[in-house]
Amino acid sequence: MNPTAAVAPPLWQSILLPAMAGAMGWGIRGQYGHETGAMIAGVLVCLVLVFLHCPRAALVPAARAAAFGAIAMGIGGSMTYGQTIGLTQNPPLIGHWDAWWWGMLGLGVKGAIWIGFAGLFLGMALGGRRYGWRDIFVLMMGLFVLYGAGWWALNQPFDPASRTLPTVYFSASWHWQPGAGEELQPRPEVWGGLLAALLGAWVWAGWARGDRLARRLALWGVLGGLGFPLGQCLQSWHAWNRDLFTTGIWATLDSTMNWWNWMETTFGAVMGACLGLGLWLNRRLIGDGDDHLDAASGSWLEWTLVCVHVALLVAAEFTALGWANALYDPGLVIAFIPLVAVASGRCWPVLLVLPITLVPIAGKTIRSLVYQSHAIGPLAGWLLYGVLPALITTAVAAWFLRQATRALSGREFARIALLVNVWLYFGLNYAFVRFP
């Protein structure tokens, strides 16, 4: 048995605790959206799994595993799914079982791709294979090519003006609403590109590199993606049975329920539970957790890449620069610099788990509370929801980096980083939803 996995956690812990982390993280993600919001759930779930299953790992490999899983969890955020959910619950389609089943199939496909990436990269980080920065660089170049091919084959043609849509299309279409006019506005889909990229990465890591843990955990991630349609079953049941919620205790319950968020937290819980179960069943494949690093260069390049990545994130999310939004919107593109940098550096894994993931979340909190709802003044809002969280996460990351050569274990890293992130994102989310 591998020394890292010598003390296996109880099965119930490996299922329940990441499920709780996933439910919380994905529920919070609902307020922030897209790729960077999904990384919250990635950070929380992967820190729980590292804490449970890697008790003897060194600090940097433990941080790298959590970072890989968190980055990969963000990739699927490129996929549009609001209209796919609409097929199962929009008023014009209530009672249309064919549309409901098609929407659920679409959610299952998109959820499987989404969590499949997270399982694959988490398995790559934990499976004992050494992936240097050159390996990840070449892999990502290949994934861009596969993405383009899959997008062209499965998500084209797309010309709403002539009502020409892909053959396999999971968003709003005139097939399900033939009487709808220009108000329908179908959205472009990219799941085909991401599916081709996921399959390519799975074959490369699982067979070309012989990484059995990555190969298996990717499949458990695909299974965890079924949490998406399972969660939507709750929300669509509410939408299809409105009369049930007009009287009695159901009416009282309905006034306090956020059904969209119930869908999200269910998705997160199933996702976390499946990844936890899959890792527990394959715990003997977890590597030794030693700190073997294929470094690209010194710390100057690490910090340069930090500045470039964060600047592009901020420009894409918070400015009107069209080129920045177009360049740094696809999930694979956003993941490129972090994945290569995490594979090549000692600072990046810790920074990714703490301040880098925080930046867009803090920014969206400030934008909502200070500039959109005017719930708090600019000075107080920036200090409470931007400067203070950034200082806390940066200080904790700096402390970890100083401990990297002082025998602080990966389990201690996961424990402390998990507590910091849980309370930080809970606090930001609690403010975002106006302290209910």
3-state class (DSSP) for residue 159? strand
Average confidence (pLDDT) over 172-176: 94
> 83 pLDDT exceeds 90?
yes
At 37-51, the pLDDT tens digits run 999 999 999 999 999
- The pLDDT confidence band at residue 3, using thresholds 50, 70 and 90, is very low
Q: What angle do CA 311, 21, 143 make, to 5 degrees?
A: 50
Instruction: Check if the beta carbon of residue 327 is closer than 8 Å to that of residue 333.
Output: yes
345 or 11: which carries more pLDDT confidence?
A: 11
327 or 23: which carries more pLDDT confidence?
A: 23
Average confidence (pLDDT) over 178-184: 85
pLDDT of residue 341: 95
Average confidence (pLDDT) over 219-229: 97
Indicate the average pLDDT of the chain. Answer: 93
Candidate ranges 1-5, 182-186, 299-303; pick with highest mean pLDDT: 182-186
Instruction: Check if the beta carbon of residue 213 is closer than 8 Å to that of residue 282.
Output: yes
**What gap in Å lies between CA 421 and CA 328, rounded to an integer?**
25
> 5 pLDDT exceeds 60?
no
Tokens 């959610």 -> residue: 107
pLDDT of residue 102: 98
pLDDT of residue 100: 98
> 290 pLDDT exceeds 80?
no
**What gap in Å lies between CA 80 and CA 188, rounded to an integer?**
8
**What gap in Å lies between CA 283 and CA 213, rounded to an integer?**
9
pLDDT of residue 1: 37
**What gap in Å lies between CA 88 and CA 191, rounded to an integer?**
19
Q: How far is CA 41 from CA 22, 69, 164, in A?
A: 5, 10, 36
At 274-287, the pLDDT tens digits run 999 999 999 999 98
**What gap in Å lies between CA 223 and CA 220, rounded to an integer?**
5
pLDDT of residue 375: 95
- The pLDDT confidence band at residue 263, using thresholds 50, 70 and 90, is very high
Peptide bond into 92 cis (omega under 30): no
Written as one string, the DSSP assignment of 396-409 is HHHHHHHHTTTT-B
**Least reliable range by pLDDT among 45-49, 252-256, 308-312:** 252-256
Average confidence (pLDDT) over 239-255: 86
3-state class (DSSP) for residue 15? helix
Average confidence (pLDDT) over 410-427: 97
- The pLDDT confidence band at residue 295, using thresholds 50, 70 and 90, is low
**Least reliable range by pLDDT among 139-143, 321-325, 349-353:** 321-325
Phi and psi angles of residue 366, each rounded to the nearest 5 degrees, phi first: -65, -45
> 425 pLDDT exceeds 90?
yes
pLDDT of residue 292: 57
pLDDT of residue 179: 85
Residues forming a β-bridge with 409: 58
**What gap in Å lies between CA 128 and CA 223, rounded to an integer?**
23
- String of b and e for 14-35 (b: at least 16 CB within 10 Å)? bbbbbbbbbbbbbbbbbbbebb
**Least reliable range by pLDDT among 139-148, 189-198, 325-334:** 325-334
96 or 407: which carries more pLDDT confidence?
A: 96
